[in-house]
Amino acid sequence: MQKSTKSIEYQIHTTNLPANFIQVTISFETIKKNPILKIPSWRPGRYMLQNYAANIRDCRAQNQNGTFLPVTKTDRNSWQVQAETGMTITFSYLYYCRQLDAGGCWSDPDLFYINPIACLMAVDEQETLSCILQLNLPSSFIIGTGMPKESSNLYVTGSFLALSDFPIVASPTLTTLSYTVQDIPFYIHSTVDASHFPSTMVDDFKLFTVAQINDFGTFPEKEYHFQLLIVPYQHYHGVEHRNSTVICLGPASDVKEKLYPELIGICSHELYHTWNICKIRPSEMLPYNLFEAQYFNTGFVAEGITTYLGDFYVALTNVFSKKWYQEEFNILLKRHFYSFGNHHLSIADSSFDLWVDGYEAGIPNRKVSIYVKGAIVAFLMDTAIRKATANVSTLRDMMLILWNSYKTDGNGYTEDSITALFHSITSNQYVEKFPHWIYGLGDLKEDLLDAFAHLQMPVDEVSHSNFFARHFGFLCDTSFTIQSVDPDSPYIHLLGKGDKILRINDLPATEFSAEQIHEPASVFIAYTNGIHIKEIDLNISDVLYFKTLQIELTEDSKLV
């Protein structure tokens, strides 16, 4: 096999194409007979298999003389070109860009947005060659990206892996705000103008940025880009990248006030990922293999700690009031205690099983969220470190140790190394509890109560405010479709997720109001599972369901 030192050249065209399609052209010199091009199977930040190949059509290949070459699909994500060694190949295809979220692609006359990992192919066995990307966009488009720029609309990266990690957003009306921390420029690119944000936004971003950099001592990149896709519909999604993050948030009319805390919280979360996962990474993912699943059990470190500390930094820097942090923490507790998967799958196994059923809710109570339970575990770790060290150290110090270790040897962490580090910091005071947090089952209620007591955080146990969830143990959405049933509910054997309540007493369910009931002994419902219609008398007792802990942050509380 001969070795090529030439770059892989990519071009993207957006004009004179069917709506929402882009044309991708890849030029390269073959180093072996019948080269293969392949699209990634997943993307970092979303630990589930993707189906990017479903967006590809019209694959064609030509040699340097313009002769068309046969192209054959060899597996779900790979295409083989019949060509000899040493040929210069031009491979082209159309890619459908109509997924406007933080991990997708979108192309129309007013907005160009891609995640290269989703739409660009790698040349097999040539992934480590430098990549050149030429964007052929309308001249009015303003481009926002962290990808290294060579000249106008021309970008160069050191490898396909690097190329894949620089999202690009462009439009004629793209706006950019900026600030600087320790001589590092931070850019806030947005698809809407500055009037959609509070006048304090840049100062608020700078507050949590300074706090995170101060804790780690250094920032891993020379610049950073927040790429905000502000949409007219309800949406909330963020994805981390090497020196940037894409945030998709809406509706746009709410971003200035109602959704502004969400914007700040998710941006703090994604910025923290610049250290934690983009650099500090499980050993199973060093290096990334974008073409195969990479199973790992330590999602509580990658996402749980980031979720916990992302909000913590916002509170620490007083971007919002202590009451805001109290409300956010209580939302976290509700999500945790209302997840009855706590009793069926550990957070370690739930991390591994991200690759099984992704980020979908799945069957009832099968698993936990590495974000939610992971943040709960991170809080317990933080409290344990504070307690064991008499408040000399916190979880942030543990993360600093991991960062310094990565800078020294570039290796990833393992389950054993995380466990050993935690026990070292806490002087082996949690050798029984820590494995239970990670590998055991249960809602960790008693551990949380101990942590709240240590941090002087008053706590109450309360039941859900929804009438049916509180009294009967099943939670419905606004259309009266059951979303969850408390395992302790006496109706667990009759009602299930997806069942729809049709009537309540003498009224259609949609016309029912709990205020119409004045301490009745029972409530009559008719419901369907889609096949049968059933009727039940629901009996009210003193037992309440969907219970959760709720905390208060007072002047005496020691968390922030």
* Residue 503: how many other CB atoms lie within 10 Å: 18
Residues β-bridged to residue 46: 43
Q: How far apart (Å, rounded) are the C-alpha atoms in residues 415 and 368?
A: 18
What kind and span of H or E run contains 485? strand 482-485
- Considering only CA atoms, which of 128, 162, 122, 159 is closest in space to residue 35? 122
pLDDT in tens, 425-456: 999 999 999 999 999 999 999 999 999 999 99
pLDDT of residue 520: 62
Share of the chain above pLDDT 90, in %: 95
In this prediction, residues 527-550 reach a mean pLDDT of 96
Question: Tens digit of pLDDT for each residue in 400-424?
Answer: 999 999 999 999 999 999 999 999 9
d(CA 47, CA 69): 35
Model pLDDT for residues 362-382, shown as the tens digit of each residue? 899 999 999 999 999 999 999
> Does the structure show a pLDDT above 70 at 200?
yes
Long-range pairs for 334-337 at CB < 8 Å and ≥24 separation?
334/548, 334/550, 335/369, 335/372, 336/372, 336/373, 336/376, 336/443, 336/548, 337/443, 337/445, 337/546, 337/547, 337/548, 337/549
Domains, the chain, ordered by start? 8-171 (2.60.40.3650), 175-272 (1.10.390.10), 283-454 (1.10.390.10), 467-539 (2.30.42.10)
Q: How far apart are CA 279 and CA 260, in angstroms?
A: 28
**How does DSSP assign 82-121, residue by residue?**
---TT-EEEEEEEEE-B--STTS-EEETTEEEE-HHHH-P
Per residue in 149-163, pLDDT tens? 999 999 999 999 999
Neighbouring residues of 331: CB distance < 8 A, sequence distance ≥ 6: none
pLDDT at 361: 82
Nearest to residue 28, comparing CAs of 46, 10, 53, 15?
10
Which residues neighbour 195 within 8 Å (Cβ) at sequence distance 6 or greater? none
Comparing C-alpha atoms, which of 159, 157, 136, 134 is closest to residue 147?
Answer: 157
Residue type, 95: Y
* pLDDT tens-place string over residues 163-188: 999 999 999 999 999 999 999 999 99
Q: What percent of the chain has pLDDT over 70?
A: 98
- Which residue spans within 97-206 are E strands per DSSP? 106-108, 111-114, 122-123, 131-136, 142-145, 149-151, 154-157, 168-171, 175-181, 184-190
In angstroms and rounded to an integer, the radius of gyration of the C-alpha atoms of the chain is 26
pTM of the full structure:
0.96
pLDDT at 1: 47
Phi and psi at residue 547, in whole multiples of 5°? -90, 150
